[in-house]
């Protein structure tokens, strides 16, 4: 709050922030000070799921003007390298990413960002929906990597925010049936609300037993599994559950080393794919939201003003609700 309002560079815009969602990674940095090799060494602003209003534009910016409402893509490559040239800029080692050390995030009143990674929101898309494009993008990227298409049978492991966006996107991309597993009955109920066809509450079953339940409710083994927890037992379940010749996409991040039945996957030609965030997803997400082909509004369960950020983080830490949203602009009462 005591920082000076930044001045945008030639290709940047200054934004008055509006809505910022809290992600599990934000909570993890707050609690543990690191995620893998990314270590918080200095004070860092959190927040990377965000939308706001353009206040000032740099001299080289032509596609935005003051007053425009925008959604922010938080990952910006610092140079055009081989990954950018092939359209996979999310893999660039030079990438700036909001709230990943040492880069500050955008949970603040004013924030400047590369204009090329700010996307104008149509009038019928709210600021909250704009902020939700970031987690939604994980679902779009994961389902594309998985090859979800017309008639796919899909197993989504985990019914947190990322599991839920994968349900939404898989159904949008033509999945005939989606089954979701989780420990929490309330989260599975939310999965049903956003389009899951079947849910399985996991208790003390072994990975093979859970895989068998998935096959039973679907009537067959799924061609595609999207693993959103990062838990070792769930990754094992994902391998056992996926049909031979199918695809397992690993979205959730857990410990660096996990024990998995890799030979089972190998001899059945189950492709195991990773994802790292997303790329080229904001235009797709905006088009889907503007056309009302998807609805992400049910994901937001709690709202707090910026002054109550600590309370918002505590709520997320306790696992209450689904997506907690912070409102950074007290003067703007629009949705």
- 145 and 115 belong to one structural domain: no
Q: What is the mean pLDDT of the chain?
A: 96
Instruction: Report CA 52 to chain centroid distance, whole Å.
Output: 18
**Which structural domain, as residue segments, surrounds residue 260?**
141-274
Q: What is the CATH number of the domain that holds 69?
A: 3.90.180.10
> Quick one: pLDDT band at residue 333, thresholds 50, 70, 90?
low
- 112 and 186 belong to one structural domain: no
- 270 and 300 belong to one structural domain: no
3-state helix, strand and coil shares in percent for the chain, rounded to the nearest 5 = 35, 25, 40
| pLDDT number for residue 196 | 98
User: What six digits make up the tokens of 128?
Assistant: 């909250």
Residue 282 in domain: no
Q: Residue 232: count other Cβ atoms within 10 Å of its Cβ.
A: 15
User: Domain tally for the chain?
Assistant: 2
What are the CA-CA distances from residue 263 to residues 108, 234, 239, 284 (Å)?
48, 17, 10, 37
Please calculate the CA angle 211-213-218 and round it to the nearest 5 degrees: 100
| pLDDT number for residue 321 | 86
- 98 and 178 belong to one structural domain: no
- 110 and 153 belong to one structural domain: no
Residue-by-residue DSSP string for 134-151: HHHHHHHHHHHHHT--TT
Residue 310 in domain: yes
Residue 221 in domain: yes
Asked whether 167 and 161 are in contact (CB, 8 A), the reply is: no
**How many Å apart are CA 162 and CA 156, to the nearest integer?**
10
Give pLDDT tens digits for 154-185.
999 999 999 999 999 999 999 999 999 999 99
Residue 194 in domain: yes
- 104 and 145 belong to one structural domain: no
Q: Percentage of residues in the chain with pLDDT exceeding 70?
A: 98
Residues near 152 by Cβ (< 8 Å), separated by ≥ 6?
170, 173, 174, 175, 176, 222, 223, 224
- 108 and 218 belong to one structural domain: no
Residue 229 in domain: yes
Cis ω before 120 (30° cut-off from 0): no
Residue 67 in domain: yes
Mean pLDDT is lowest, of 112-116, 138-142, 317-321, for: 317-321
- 191 and 89 belong to one structural domain: no
pTM over 0.85: yes
Asked whether 285 and 263 are in contact (CB, 8 A), the reply is: no
- Mean pLDDT along residues 74-84: 97
Q: What is the CATH number of the domain that holds 151?
A: 3.40.50.720
Residue-by-residue DSSP string for 19-72: EEE--HHHHHHHHHSEETTEE--S------EEEEEEEEE-TT--S--TT-EEEE
- 55 and 149 belong to one structural domain: no
- 104 and 72 belong to one structural domain: yes
Residue 178 in domain: yes
Asked whether 21 and 324 are in contact (CB, 8 A), the reply is: yes
| pLDDT number for residue 36 | 83
Residues near 210 by Cβ (< 8 Å), separated by ≥ 6?
181, 200, 202, 237, 241
> Quick one: pLDDT band at residue 214, thresholds 50, 70, 90?
very high
Tokens 């049978």 locate to 153
- 218 and 175 belong to one structural domain: yes
Asked whether 119 and 282 are in contact (CB, 8 A), the reply is: yes
Asked whether 283 and 119 are in contact (CB, 8 A), the reply is: yes
Residue 2 in domain: no
HEC readout, 261-312:
CHHHHHHCCCEEEECCCCCCCHHHHHHHHHCCCCCCHHHEEEEEEHHHHHHH
- 116 and 155 belong to one structural domain: no
């Amino acid at each position: 709050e005591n920082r000076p309002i930044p001045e945008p560079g030639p290709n940047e815009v200054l934004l008055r922030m509006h809505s910022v969602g809290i992600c599990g990674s934000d909570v993890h940095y707050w609690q543990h000070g690191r995620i893998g090799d990314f270590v918080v060494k200095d004070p860092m602003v959190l927040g990377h799921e965000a939308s706001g209003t353009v206040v000032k534009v740099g001299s080289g910016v032509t596609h935005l003007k003051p007053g425009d409402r925008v959604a922010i893509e938080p990952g910006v490559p610092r140079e055009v390298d081989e990954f950018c040239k092939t359209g996979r800029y999310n893999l660039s080692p030079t990438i700036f990413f909001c709230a990943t050390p040492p880069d500050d995030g955008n949970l603040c009143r004013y924030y400047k960002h590369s204009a090329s990674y700010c996307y104008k929101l149509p009038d019928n898309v709210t600021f909250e929906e704009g902020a939700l494009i970031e987690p939604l993008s994980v679902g779009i990227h994961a389902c594309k990597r998985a090859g979800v298409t017309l008639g796919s049978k899909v197993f989504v492991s985990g019914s947190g925010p990322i599991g839920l966006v994968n349900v939404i996107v898989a159904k949008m991309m033509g999945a005939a049936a989606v089954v979701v597993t989780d420990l929490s009955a309330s989260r599975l109920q939310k999965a049903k609300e956003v389009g899951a066809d079947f849910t399985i509450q996991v208790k003390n079953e072994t990975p093979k037993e859970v895989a068998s339940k998935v096959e039973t409710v679907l009537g067959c083994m799924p061609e595609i599994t999207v693993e959103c927890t990062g838990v070792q037992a769930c990754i094992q379940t994902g391998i056992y559950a996926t049909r031979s010749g199918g695809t397992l996409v690993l979205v959730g991040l857990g410990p660096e080393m996990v024990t998995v039945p890799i030979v089972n996957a190998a001899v059945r030609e189950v492709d195991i794919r990773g994802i790292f965030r997303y790329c080229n997803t904001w235009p797709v997400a905006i088009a889907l939201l503007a056309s009302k082909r998807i609805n992400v509004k049910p994901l937001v369960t709690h709202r707090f003003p910026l002054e109550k950020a600590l309370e918002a983080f505590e709520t997320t830490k306790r696992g209450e609700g689904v997506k907690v949203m912070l409102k950074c602009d007290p003067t703007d009462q629009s949705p």
